[in-house]
A and B are shown apart, each in its own frame.
Chain A
Amino acid sequence: MTVTGFYWLGSRNQKRGALLWLTVASLVFYAWWRPVNLLILLLSVCVNFLLGRIIRNRLLANLSMTKPLLAGILFNVLLLGFFKYTNFFIENLNFVFHQDIPGRSIVLPLAISFFTFTQIAYLIDCSQDRCAGYNFLDYVLFVSTFPHLIAGPIVHHRQLISQFSNQDSFRFRPRSFALGCTIFLVGLFKKAVLADHLALFANTVFSLASHRFPLTAGEAWTGPLTYTLQLYFDFSGYSDMAIGSALLFNLVLPLNFNSPFRAVNVIDFWNRWHMTLTRFLTDYVYNPIVLSITRRRLAAGKKLMSRTSLDIEPFMVLVAFPMLVTMFVSGVWHGAGWQFIIFGMLHGSYLVINHAWHQVQRRMGQDPSQSSKAGRQVARLATLMAVMIAMVFFRAPDVKTAWFLIRSMFGSHGLSLPHGMAAHAAFLKALGIQFRGFVTPESGLNTNEVLPWTISLFAIAWFVPNLYYWIQDHTTDFQLPSGDVFASWWKAFRWQPSIPWAVSTAVLGVVAVLSMLSGVREFLYFQF
């Protein structure tokens, strides 16, 4: 209905009408779950729009805009903080001061983290003369366009609002619509069929860990293995659905995932995983900190970093510190809990180590981007292991459970190997190793289900080109930033507007809808 109305108005040259129609549809979509959320969204949008105007007017009048900018950032941080972090704050206050202040019953408005971040970026850009004088309708639609509103991708105002003025956006274009449908249905399949099935295994392991069930190493690893995959297929599936549904309206949203499990190091991983968040944190947290420190050091006549320098002090100040702060913000943004902070700091540490290693490599005259094929596979595996360990903190309900699970992963409750290995490695029994299956029956996990799902989905995530590779003959809107090289025979399977592809896409859609009628249906990133 929304699509029909949009193009009907567009065909009658009612451009503003079409945008208004899409805005109303987006707001109705947002209010559907909890209408009161709409008031919070509209309050946030109105305040930020007004502050953006004030900042821009002051900028044009050569007046200081520090106060309205700080007021805007403070408003956004307080709004987010109230809804997301009040209870976390109370818990810690109670712990530190031995108080018993009761927690508040606060329902987190959908997508508050997403729309708060995009609007902070808008205010900062206004203060740096990087935003045009948008009208209110364009601004509301930029924040609330339903495809990206709930769980991203995090969209930059210039990227989206510029498309609202394009006359072609209001004309029905079969190519855009065909690609949109395909991307949407593939995304739905990834979420509803693949991710939701993996959730059954991941939930079991994390639930057992929270009840301190003595998990064997194999069982414990099943948790982060399946959860990492689940989160990838869930969130990338949602991002595909967002990108696909935006394309139905001729709107292009940025890529959010680019085969992250092919990453050869953690820096590479963050360039492929939740790419729009990485870009946001780089532009609005990391770069300003580095810039500020660099200016101060220059003013003080202190040494800066060179590409081959091994000096610890500038590295710590100019790389490690901004990186840790940025990933701390990332952790806090993801959730209210110490486990999220640890998740962020763990990734911050990985990145610092990664950057340090690159410095060492450059100093030794090596190119960090070059390595042997085998070396790349080992690097991928090591990266994946590091990511999975951090994921334990991301998924666990609390730090204690995460720590319990990590200890189990490293054998604190023993190791059990498949029955078939008993005959060949009986000597291991003396070391306390059991032969009761990779996972034991007591855990409730079924090896015959867990292993095929996990292995085949990792193989897909690792070796198969992602969706945007398949469609790149038909659009230049989604530039794949990394130089992944796939075997040439994959080209034979690239997407074509052909009958087999059409039927296959429809089958994926129907299977996905059927799967949605059972089991888990919540998008993991809705909580952010």
Chain B
Amino acid sequence: MNESAAVCPDTAYRRYLRVVFLSLLVLSVPLCTNFIFLRHADEITGYPELIRRQRDQGTLYGSGLNSTFFRYKLQLVRDVRPDVIAVGSSRVMQFQTRAFRASFVNAGGAANTLNETRMFLDEMFRFHRPKLILMVLEFYLFNSRFFEPDSYPDHFYDETEITRDKLLSPFAWLATGKVPPRLYAQIVLGDIPSARGTRWPAMGINAIENAMGFYPDGSYFYGGFFQGLSVQDVKFSNTLERIHEGKRRFEYGTDIDAKRISELREIIAVCRQNKVQLILFLPPVAPAVLRCMQEMSEQYQYVDRLNTYLRSLDIEYYDFRDARSLGGSDCEFIDGFHAGNTMHYRMLQWVLKNRPHSALIPYLNAEVFSPIVAQYTGHAMVPEDPGKLNFKEVDFLQIGCSKDSDVVSAIKP
């Protein structure tokens, strides 16, 4: 390099270099700290390792970064190799292992549309064929106005990859108060607290701070809602607004969409080809929400047509939309269209009582239903291990539900 142009002494350039490298170091420190935080909070731990630890230690897993569960649930199925799986969206996530005498995985949240369900089943059948699939059918999936993507890039999301957004997320959490500074410091130092309000070990910041996450069987625990830490659908206002405005899953429609029906038929066919028993059901909505939809039945004609169509199929199918017909109430819902654990026990109990020839019967753990339903009537939550809960469910929907009964230690796991 030509020396003639130097206008500053070497010391100036040396000082410049020192400042550059010092600045790089200083700027890197918070990012490195965030990396340690994410690593300690298991936000960048791979699914195989997560699931192994969940199953070994009974850990609750709730990520603050990952909200797609396709690969997580596939990995769970791969590890457990269950006889029974529940497949569908978040509306199936409340089925729990103890309802079944056979091995069980809840794959809820992994298959949110019909073509995604097909993808999930195709992937799963490559390495495992369960004996029975309990599949939730969302009424809105059959409305052409509900968008169904052609592809799902999130399926290829690598949970272990360090990305810019991941590295910066802890700053946003600190700024918005989602993670208090004290908790941040605690996690960085490697002292990982239990899921909030419980004594369950937790992985993922959502499980740690909000007590929201998956149990080792894949079912979901809405601990934050049950404790009243956050509220989402007070008096079902959010759901009712969707209905009144005909948006976000509650789009209006007259006819069922032929393309979606064809996708369902393919799912049924692929299960038959793989000799897997398939049971379909329409899940419950809160009675207040169902009432509203019935009042606007003109706008939701396609739902009844769907029900009629499903009944005509040569397959075991249940219409559980009406929670009251199962003995449930608004109080047993997490929000307007997500039934809680108790309602899920009610559905299975109904099959047990009323459909003795159902393919489901041999797999059900008949003894648990009556005591659980009796004990948790009016509650959305049926905790996996009540002895480790430090709270009682509150009236988080604020609809005047009485949650006074002492359910914490009534049921032994």
Choose one: A178, A475, A498; the contact of B2 (CB below 8 Å): A475
Choose one: A177, A474, A499; the contact of B8 (CB below 8 Å): A474
Which residues in B have their C-beta under 8 angstroms from that of A514?
31, 164, 167-168
Nearest-CB residue, chain B, relative to A176 = B1
Nearest-CB residue, chain B, relative to A475 = B5
Expressed in whole angstroms, the Cα–Cα distance for A509 and B164 within the complex equals 14
Cβ–Cβ contact A174 & B27, under 8 A: no
Which residues in B have their C-beta under 8 angstroms from that of A477?
1-2, 5
Cβ–Cβ contact B7 & A473, under 8 A: yes
Cβ–Cβ contact A506 & B23, under 8 A: yes
Is A518 part of the contact surface with B, judged by Cβ < 8 Å? yes
Which residues in A have their C-beta under 8 angstroms from that of B6?
175, 474
Choose one: B7, B14, B21; the contact of A174 (CB below 8 Å): B14
Cβ–Cβ contact A502 & B164, under 8 A: no
**Most B CB atoms within 10 A — which of A173, A250, A252?**
A173
Which residues in A have their C-beta under 8 angstroms from that of B4?
476
Is A357 part of the contact surface with B, judged by Cβ < 8 Å? no
Is A463 part of the contact surface with B, judged by Cβ < 8 Å? no
Contact with A along B1-25 (1 / 0, CB 8 A): 1111111101011111101110110
Is B176 part of the contact surface with A, judged by Cβ < 8 Å? no
Give the interface residue-count category, chain A. Answer: 35 or more
Which residues in B have their C-beta under 8 angstroms from that of A177?
13, 17
Cβ–Cβ contact A475 & B1, under 8 A: yes
Is A421 part of the contact surface with B, judged by Cβ < 8 Å? no
Q: How far is the CB of A250 from chain B (nearest CB, A)?
A: 5
Expressed in whole angstroms, the Cα–Cα distance for A472 and B164 within the complex equals 34
Q: How far is the CB of B172 from chain A (nearest CB, A)?
A: 14
Which residues in B have their C-beta under 8 angstroms from that of A515?
164
Expressed in whole angstroms, the Cα–Cα distance for A499 and B19 within the complex equals 7
Contact with B along A489-528 (1 / 0, CB 8 A): 0000000111101110111011000111110000000000
Nearest-CB residue, chain A, relative to B10 = A174
| A497 and B15 contact, Cβ closer than 8 Å, known pairs A474-B6, A505-B20, A514-B31 | yes
| A518 and B13 contact, Cβ closer than 8 Å, known pairs A475-B1, A477-B1, A497-B8 | no
Nearest-CB residue, chain A, relative to B14 = A174
Expressed in whole angstroms, the Cα–Cα distance for A38 and B395 within the complex equals 68
Expressed in whole angstroms, the Cα–Cα distance for A515 and B4 within the complex equals 37
**Most A CB atoms within 10 A — which of B2, B10, B19?**
B19
Cβ–Cβ contact B16 & A501, under 8 A: yes
Nearest-CB residue, chain A, relative to B19 = A502
Q: How far is the CB of A222 from chain B (nearest CB, A)?
A: 22
Expressed in whole angstroms, the Cα–Cα distance for A496 and B20 within the complex equals 13
Is B165 part of the contact surface with A, judged by Cβ < 8 Å? yes
Choose one: A250, A473, A503; the contact of B1 (CB below 8 Å): A250
Cβ–Cβ contact A178 & B13, under 8 A: yes
Q: How far is the CB of A426 from chain B (nearest CB, A)?
A: 31
Expressed in whole angstroms, the Cα–Cα distance for A498 and B27 within the complex equals 18
Expressed in whole angstroms, the Cα–Cα distance for A361 and B15 within the complex equals 54
Contact with B along A283-304 (1 / 0, CB 8 A): 0000000000000000000000
**Most B CB atoms within 10 A — which of A181, A182, A507?**
A181
Which residues in A have their C-beta under 8 angstroms from that of B2?
252, 475-477
Nearest-CB residue, chain A, relative to B16 = A497
Is A247 part of the contact surface with B, judged by Cβ < 8 Å? yes
Expressed in whole angstroms, the Cα–Cα distance for A134 and B20 within the complex equals 38
Cβ–Cβ contact A502 & B13, under 8 A: no
Expressed in whole angstroms, the Cα–Cα distance for A408 and B10 within the complex equals 57
Cβ–Cβ contact A174 & B17, under 8 A: yes
Which residues in B have their C-beta under 8 angstroms from that of A473?
5, 7
Expressed in whole angstroms, the Cα–Cα distance for A250 and B21 within the complex equals 19
Expressed in whole angstroms, the Cα–Cα distance for A480 and B7 within the complex equals 19
Nearest-CB residue, chain B, relative to A510 = B27
Is B174 part of the contact surface with A, judged by Cβ < 8 Å? no
Expressed in whole angstroms, the Cα–Cα distance for A516 and B4 within the complex equals 37
Cβ–Cβ contact A498 & B24, under 8 A: no
Cβ–Cβ contact A502 & B20, under 8 A: yes
Q: How far is the CB of A298 from chain B (nearest CB, A)?
A: 41
Q: How far is the CB of A429 from chain B (nearest CB, A)?
A: 29
Which residues in A have their C-beta under 8 angstroms from that of B10?
173-175
State which residues 13-43 of B face A: CB under 8 Å: 13-17, 19-21, 23-24, 27-28, 31
Expressed in whole angstroms, the Cα–Cα distance for A177 and B1 within the complex equals 10
| A175 and B24 contact, Cβ closer than 8 Å, known pairs A252-B1, A474-B6 | no
State which residues 408-422 of A face B: CB under 8 Å: none
Nearest-CB residue, chain A, relative to B17 = A178
Nearest-CB residue, chain B, relative to A497 = B16
Which residues in B have their C-beta under 8 angstroms from that of A182?
20
Nearest-CB residue, chain A, relative to B166 = A517
Nearest-CB residue, chain B, relative to A166 = B1
Is B296 part of the contact surface with A, judged by Cβ < 8 Å? no
Cβ–Cβ contact B164 & A247, under 8 A: no
| A173 and B20 contact, Cβ closer than 8 Å, known pairs A510-B27, A514-B167 | no
Choose one: A250, A476, A506, A517; the contact of B20 (CB below 8 Å): A506
Q: How far is the CB of A242 from chain B (nearest CB, A)?
A: 15
Question: Could you tell me which A residues sit within 8 Å of B by CB distance?
Answer: 168-169, 173-178, 181-182, 247, 250, 252, 472-477, 496-499, 501-503, 505-507, 509-510, 514-518
Question: Could you tell me which B residues sit within 8 Å of A by CB distance?
Answer: 1-8, 10, 12-17, 19-21, 23-24, 27-28, 31, 162-168
With A174-B14, A476-B4, A514-B167 known, 10 other A-B pairs at CB within 8 A are A168-B3, A175-B10, A177-B17, A474-B5, A497-B12, A497-B15, A502-B23, A505-B23, A506-B23, A510-B28
**Sample (5) of A-B pairs whose CB atoms are under 8 Å apart:** A174-B17, A474-B8, A477-B2, A497-B8, A503-B23
A-B CB proximity, top 5 nearest: A506-B23, A502-B19, A497-B16, A174-B13, A178-B13
